[in-house]
Chain A
Amino acid sequence: MKRVLARTVYMVVVLVLSSIAVFYAIRLSGGDAVAARVPASASAEEREAVREQLGLNDPFHEQYFDYMGRLFTGDLGNSLTNNAQIGKLITEHGKNSLILGAAAFALVFGVGIPLGMLASLRRNSWWDGGIMTFSVAGMAVPNFWLALLAVWLFASVLGWLPSAGCCGPKQLVLPAVVLAMEGMALTVRMTRSAMLENLNQDFVRTLRSGGLSESKVIGRHVFRNALVPIVSLAGLRIGQIVGYALVVETIFGWPGLGQVLVNAVLRRDYPVAQFFSLVLITIVLLSNWLADVGYTVVNPRLRRG
């Protein structure tokens, strides 16, 4: 319990610090937020007036407290470019991101763990060799490059899948696989090594001496032990998926949070960029927190004392 509480406090502190970092970083990145708001023909005075009206001439810290104050009253503000309500943007695009992220997450563990187990149980076989080669490739190829290769092969050459779009199952396949690839490859490796390590533990011999079947010994006991390191890093995998989603959503034209954030940053749409960043940061922090709690659940040695 103490551990969970400590992690929660830690999470809040990190969130506050990141909000400051995000707020300053986007203002320090140059460009002009007003450009999106006024016609290109507007005079210097007109631009200055809009800037004043948006409070962009105030000192940074005043702008920050002003913004955070409004956030806490539930006023998320509007986009500078098209005046869309940010709350609405979040729900619309969040849904798409959730679909993509969940699909990738399911692939990372739903495919990664079974492949890793297969490799460990058929150690040094062709299965093992094939799976591990796939895994090394999955980690080595950068996802933007993999995305381009996938589009070229499956959309242009074979014509099996659309190259971009939203939001049917067909359009989901390529971005989900590309988004999941690195995490999946890491999960395969980790599952394999954790399984092999635990297969050599003394307790396996004890369980066999108790007359348990191999499926119980391996499928239940060795697997549960191997799950400890895998679950403890599940939070990192989520963080990875959130981060990579910016790239993958942009490449595949998947209208999720990542795509909106990238566009907002490019246009210096401060309110959108700030809030979307905070949302993504919160997701990453929450997933790490969940992984910590999950680690305590799968590893009884951390529960007491």
Chain B
Amino acid sequence: MATMTDQGGRPSGGDQPVTAPLLSIDGLRTMVSTRRESFDVVRGLSLDIYPNEVLCLVGESGCGKSITALSIMRLLPTPPVRVRGGTIRFRGEDLLRLSAKRMRSIRADSISMIFQDPLTSLDPVFTVGDVIVEVIRAHRDVTKEEGRRLAGDALTKVGLPDPLAQLDSYPHQLSGGMRQRVMIAMALVLDPDILIADEPTTALDVTVQAQILDQLVTEQRERNMSMLLITHDLAVVAAVADRVAVMYAGEIVEQAPVDELFEDPRHPYTQGLLRALPKVSTTRRRLDPIPGLVPSLQMMPPGCAFAPRCPHALDRCWTEQPELAADPDGRVFRCFNPQPFAG
């Protein structure tokens, strides 16, 4: 079992009891392999999700956030994407080694997922109620009427207007925000332990985004559920996260409680992300982007993945891969030459 220090940044306050992780990813390697080439998109990722927390996984597009989530759910588009190593332990079992049938019984019942685009994510030719009832009946031995009642309750709970009438609606009859509420209701109807939300607000209007985010956090608190929220939006992270894991080029580069991460980021990539945020209060006019581009996953540098863009890279950064480890302050990041953050 992992100890406190090498997991880092957890728990956020000293008053919280030390608990065992609910879900523990260790050394996850997920690869894309086609006839012409094969390369890792998740490169030995380790991450723990604790009970009752909101863990945000941040990083830019293509860094492997969604692939990580789909690896947990075992919903990768195989071929060409498949897990080639590591373990994902949940309640004493390695999800990656479960039978397909056993894995199905975990989906929605213990671990649920909601997706980015709520229009394409719902079956267009079935009513919302039909599908939710089907999900319930895949896991519970209830009648259709009972299932429908439960589905109605779930829709009521997520704040859908006129929920019972919406049971008979088709996805195209609902707005984007309503569809995402339906997705949430479907994901939560069986009261799972973990909800994985993959960019749940990215496809929505800004005003609706806030409502949906609010709903998710409310549900997480009321149900004592853990949430893995995947996002590239640091404003969202600041608003809801307990703990943050920053991902770059298929691996975690830093993880910390949300306050520590924003006040005192240690990894140069995290620092760059925070510096790149547009600020209203300062006099600086120009945005401050991180120079350079993400290295291509087909041709990763032998050393630190961030070295080519890092202003403080040492010679050893180009040849040696730094480990994700805790420093004397208990901060966990992956860097040979951390610099103090000057916002």
Contact = CB atoms under 8 A, between A and B. Distances in A.
Interface of A: 201-203, 205-214, 216, 221, 224-225, 228, 298-301, 304-305
A208 B107 contact: yes
B120 A209 contact: no
Contact of B125 (A211, A214, A300): A300
A209 B124 contact: no
A300 to B, nearest CB: 4
Among all A-B residue pairs, the 6 with the closest Cβ atoms = A210-B135, A211-B107, A202-B120, A211-B108, A203-B123, A300-B170
Contacts of B108: 209-211
Contacts of A202: 115, 117, 120-121
B112 A209 contact: yes
Contacts of A228: 125
Contacts of A209: 73, 75, 107-108, 112-113, 115, 187
Interface residues of B, number: 32
Given A203-B121, A211-B135, 11 more contacts: A202-B120, A202-B121, A209-B107, A210-B107, A210-B131, A212-B134, A213-B138, A216-B134, A216-B138, A221-B123, A300-B124
The A contact surface, by secondary structure, is helix
B83 interface: no
B183 A206 contact: yes
Contacts of B134: 210, 212, 216
B173 interface: yes
B97 interface: no
A224 B125 contact: yes
A209 B196 CA distance: 11
Given A212-B135, A221-B126, A206 B121 contact: yes
Contacts of B112: 209
A201 B121 CA distance: 8
Contact of A205 (B121, B125, B126, B135): B121
Nearest to A202: B120
Nearest to A204: B123
Nearest to B106: A211
A205 B117 CA distance: 12
A214 B100 CA distance: 10
A214 B126 CA distance: 17
Contact of B104 (A203, A213, A298, A301): A213
A206 B123 CA distance: 9
Contacts of B109: 211
27 contacts: A202-B115, A202-B117, A202-B121, A205-B115, A205-B121, A207-B123, A209-B108, A209-B112, A210-B135, A210-B186, A211-B105, A211-B106, A211-B108, A211-B139, A212-B135, A212-B138, A214-B100, A221-B123, A221-B125, A224-B125, A224-B126, A225-B123, A299-B125, A300-B127, A301-B170, A304-B173, A305-B173
